Structure 1
Amino acid sequence: MMSRRFKLGTFFGIALFIHWSFFLMPALVAYSEWSNGGRWIDVLLTLGFVVLLFACVILHEYGHVLAARAFGVGTRDITMLPIGGVARLERMPEEPWQELIVAVAGPAVNVLIAATLGIGIVAFYGFNLDADGESNMFAHRLFAVNIALIVFNMIPAFPMDGGRVFRSVASMFTNHRRATWLAMRLGQVIAIALFALGISNLSNLPFLPFIAAFIFWVGMMEYRQVDIASQVKDLRVRDAMLRQFCVAPIDSSIADFAERAADQLQRTFPVVEHGLYRGVLQLEQIATAMQTANGQQQTVGEIARWDSITVDEDAPLEEVLVGMPRDATQIPVLDTTNKVVGLLDTDSCLRRVALRSGRSHNPAAPASIDYYSPPGDER
């Protein structure tokens, strides 16, 4: 979802991106205004209002991330989407009351904005809602939108702010995994209701079905991450890595190594030189090179990839499984001397987690995974 985005800048040490789909909203709004007979000035004023609206949303997201920073939680980045902002925290606060504060910090920013606008409106225009002037119209609309943002975000539809408040309170009475499951289910029920409302009133609420689908899908994905984390809690990469694996010598010819690779179950082969890690060779690269005579004569080092992902054997397994890109399925595991000591098959780990979860339908049940280690292995 975040693959095509443009960097707007870095504020408070946190990168702010705009997803390409973000531009669909102002384009649709401008077209709607123009098609309804609006003048160019009306179109420009409407676009200006959209910019102010998303400025409020950006401030909302920075409210979350700055509150999280106060509890020692970093933020990878913030991405603006047509339906709002997504702040990617490195992790959630450990204590439920901390998550509660982080969740309400965003709407609190909108409360502050609305209060400031309200005071300004009363100071300049009094209580006359019919006062003329573009500035008055902008102020009233922006005030109303911030109130709407507060109300909408506090709907207990996980992963929205209200849903996170619900989870944080539930976590005070049960474990984090079950609290997330309860919040996800409640959020899905609300998402279905919002979707039905949007479909039945599509002309007035064109974005509501998309927001509802986003709530349903993201809530489910976040529960999956929490489920994975609970299954592998306190485990390190070395506890789950494959200890029997094949490496590719950097000076070996593709033709020679292909014979050896054909007998392996691996798709990724760590490339080594003098026993130390240098890169990776994918099975697809070998198959492509073997199709030509020149390719067969190439060495492993000539076609290996040098910018591949690796993990430390002491890294927490939870962080690796949750944060690793989907296409990184077999990852070389290195020790402190840059020697390859294992291969982490993330697909296999995730399947074992899913199998374990499938056997236990009670999200309150304690989670654990047994990883086989060879007899006598003391590492």
Structure 2
Amino acid sequence: MELNKGRNKWKISITSLVVIIVAILVIAIVNFTGFAILNNKDQEVRIGATFPLTGGLAAYGKGYKNGAVLAQKKINNNGGINGKNLNIIFQDNKGDAKTVVSDVKYLIEVEDVPIVLNSMEYLTLVSKSITEKNKVIMLTFTTYLLSEKDNPKYLYKDSWNFRNVGEDFGKAANEINAEKLAVIRLKDSSYEDLKLSFFNEFDGKIVIDETYNFGEKDFKSILTKIKNRDVDTILIYSYPVEVSLILKQMAELDMDNYNLITTEGAETFVMQGNLELLQSTNAISYHGAELQGPEWFVQEYKERFGSNPRPDSYYTYDSVIMFSKAMEICGEDVECIKKEISDEFDEYHNKDRDLPIVQYDNGWKEFKL
């Protein structure tokens, strides 16, 4: 009996010793990891980015990311920022509003970045309060036009806007003798910018105006309503997945005798996959594959990624280069960075890009207004 008691005490002692050793190792690993992270942060310059890299908006997100990656490569190949490599920390928000909020918090609270790149109106609007509160710059690539009501302090926008595109669409609609318009549109406040400028130019009228929510997949009931009305032109305002579905369902319903105006870019897989319908519908869109940045950028993008860039790709490239120049002077001083980039933006922090209008006629051709 005494022998068993001794053995039990011995087992308890060994167990206690193992627990203590494991605890010491865990503490050591945590401390070493923490030191390594701090050391890495000290050896590089970090900015954050949250883009929809998977899901229905991945075509946009990958375009944004690829442009930023090319800029990062150029910066680091040329000595970095004051001798430190630029590290862009990418997060995949999947186009989801809750995820983008988590991403932005993570980039600020864990990665301690002074700048966050974002995109899309709804992803921007749900997360901008976080960067504003934390005094972190958010540069977003969205057609949403910042104004006095947004009161942006740390929020900046770099992209074309629907106010300018809408004006050109209205002029183009007159040129192709469009008179009776059907609208299929996502519920989105940027449409109001498009609508306002479009109808300042367009001489015709709206016959039917149909809205839908993001993620809708069946448009046949809307298209059937339009087919049964006296309409000669259809304006589609949406994102790529929905535009693709609308075009395919138009073909299934033999709706190939309309003028078609779409806010989906001419170079995308959506438009390239529906060329037969586009030819018969007299389609108008914006920009073409040859108009997506300087020639050297298009070539470099093709060599790296095997495809034409989106216009957004050059915007992210250009913006990362802009920030790198500001950070050469300012380091991570956000107020200083804001001063350095101020000349690039208007009073409400908008930088607007021009997009030419194109028409499909055995290939995309610039529409001369």
Which range, TM-score by smaller chain? under 0.3
Which has the bigger relative contact order, CA under 8 A and spacing at least 6?
Answer: 2
The TM-score normalised by the length of structure 1 is 0.25
Q: Which is richer in strand? A: 2
The TM-score normalised by the length of structure 2 is 0.26
